[in-house]
Amino acid sequence: MATITVKPKDLVDGFEAAGGGNMPWQLIERGGARGLIVGGAGDIDFQVFAANGDSRGLVVAEVELYGMPHREIWLQGHKQGLYTLNFVSRTSGAVVFFMGVDVVNEVEVVAAFYYLPGVRKKFNVEQIVKKVNAIWNRSANVTIKSLGMFDEGLGQRLDINDPEISLNNTKHLSALIDYGNHASANWHVYLGWGVQGNIPGETLGSRTIIDTVRRKETELAFVSHTIAHELGHRICRAPPSHDTQTGDLMLEKTRDGTNNKIRRPRVRLVNRPTP
Ligand SMILES: [Zn+2]
C-alpha cells in the first residue's frame, strides 16, 4: 500500500507533521477551515471521530481534482472539540492512518497598554498588536483586542522611586495597579521602565512589564516579540511555562527575537477545547 502523507494546503501555522511517535495534527478555528494535501490515499474514506461523541462538529469536504496523484480535503471546524480523522481503507475497512484535529474557540485577550511616566522612547501600539496577533492568531486562535495606549496611566501618579521595577515587589505591583487598571481589560501591559534582573519582560497574573529602557526606538519587532512571549505567560493555564525547541516563541531566552513558533503542546496549554 502506498505511504500516506499529509501536508497543509497553504497555512503552516497550526499544522504539525507526524514525528516523534505523534500522528499529524491540525488546529482549526471554530467557524474556519484548513486545507490538507493527502498523498497515497486513493483507497481511503475519511471518517471523523469526536471525543465528545458528536462528530458533526468537524466536516470533511473534498475538492475534486482531476488526474492528480494526491487528494485535497478541507476540514471545517463547526464545533469546538477534540477530533480524530480516521483514514479508512475501502478495500479492507481498516483504519490505516489517523490524525488529530482540535477545533478551538477564539481566546480573546483584552489588553490595555500604559506608558510609565517619563518615557520618551515610544512604540506604535497598533503595530505591536498586529505583530503579536500575527504570531498567535493562526497558530492558536488567540487574539489581542487592544483598548489602546494610555500615555499617562489612568489613575494616580506612579509611586515608585526605584530605578527598576518588578511585579514580585508588592509595593511596585500595587503602585502599577493604582497607575493603570482599565476596568475592561483582562491584561495590563506597562512599558518603559527597566525590569529588575536584566530581562526584557515579566508577567504575573494579568499584568506584564516590558523593559524598553534597553531597547532602541527601531526595535519595534523585538518589543513586539517580547510582548508576544509575555502573552504566552498571561494565557498559559498549566506548567511548563517555557518550551525548549529551537524556534519556539516560549524559549526562556531569546537571542534575536525571531523565534515565534507555537507548537501543539503549547497550543494545548493555552487553548485546549474541553472534550
Ligand atoms: Zn518567559
Partners of 102 in the beta sheet? 27, 82
Find the 226 Cα to ligand 1 centroid distance in Å. 9
In this predicted structure, what is the pLDDT of residue 2? Answer: 76
What lies within 8 Å, CB to CB, of 9 at 6+ separation is 34, 35, 36, 37, 72, 74
CA neighbor of 233 nearest in space, from 219, 252, 214, 247: 252
Helical H segments across 100-185, by residue range: 125-140, 170-179
ipTM here:
1.00
pLDDT score of 274? 75
Separation of 268 CA from ligand 1 center, angstroms? 17
Kind of pairing, strands 81-89 and 95-104? antiparallel
Q: How confident is the model at residue 89 (pLDDT cuts 50, 70, 90)?
A: very high
The reported pLDDT for the residue numbered 1 is 61
**Residue 255 · residue 226 · CB < 8 Å:** no
How many CA atoms lie less than 13 Å away from 116 in the CB half-sphere? 26
Is residue 225 over pLDDT 90? yes
Cell of 159: 509611586
What is the structure's pLDDT at 21?
85
- Name the pairing type of β-strands 70-77 and 107-115: unpaired
Indicate if the pLDDT at residue 153 is higher than 90: no
Considering the chain, what percentage of its residues have pLDDT values greater than 90? 87
Please give the domain boundaries of the chain with CATH numbers for all domains. 5-104 (2.60.40.10), 107-270 (3.40.390.10)
| pLDDT score recorded for residue 240 | 96
Which has the closest alpha carbon to 209: 183, 227, 182, 232?
227
- For 21-69, the pLDDT digits (tens) are 889 999 999 999 999 999 999 999 999 999 999 999 999 999 999 999 9
Query: What is the mean pLDDT of the segment spanning 153-159?
Result: 88
What distance in angstroms lies between residue 250's CA and the mean position of ligand 1's atoms? Answer: 6
Where helices occur in 141-251 by DSSP H, the ranges are: 170-179, 220-235
Task: Measure 214 CA to ligand 1 centroid, in angstroms.
Answer: 17
CA distance 224 to 124: 10
Q: 100-141: per-residue pLDDT in tens?
A: 999 999 999 999 999 999 888 899 999 999 999 999 999 999
* pLDDT tens-digit map of 171-185: 999 999 999 999 999
CA torsion sign, 206 to 211 to 215 to 218? Answer: positive
